[in-house]
């Protein structure tokens, strides 16, 4: 979740920078700004897929780990006692 907040933050910052550049020099139009933001979001998405798309990508990252529902805690404990770790 924090990663995606950072991603949105950077996209907003880039948009603001593009807006300022457009105000100062009319050579940077809205289409170029949109293309730049799309490019940045595309690169960030590819990077996140590369980082999270590996074994343990979610479970080894405490910020992104998807916890087991509490109603399955007893089953998880039983599986761990049997040698199967969740």
pLDDT given at position 25? 56
- Looking at the whole model, is its pTM more than 0.85? no
pLDDT given at position 21? 67
What tens-digit pLDDT sequence spans the chain (86 residues)?
Answer: 567 777 777 778 887 877 776 665 556 677 877 888 888 888 888 888 888 888 888 778 888 777 778 888 888 888 888 888 75
Output the six-digit token pair for 49.
């897929």
Domain boundaries, the chain: 2-81
Alpha helices (H) along 1-86: 2-24, 30-52, 73-81
């Amino acid at each position: 979740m924090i990663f995606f907040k950072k991603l949105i933050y950077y996209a907003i910052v880039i948009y603001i920078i593009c807006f300022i550049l457009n105000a100062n020099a009319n050579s940077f139009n809205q289409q170029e700004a949109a293309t730049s933001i799309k490019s940045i979001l595309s690169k960030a998405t590819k990077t996140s897929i590369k980082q999270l798309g590996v074994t343990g990508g979610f479970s080894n990252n405490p910020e992104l780990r998807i916890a087991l529902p509490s109603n399955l805690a007893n089953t998880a404990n039983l599986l761990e006692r049997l040698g199967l770790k969740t």
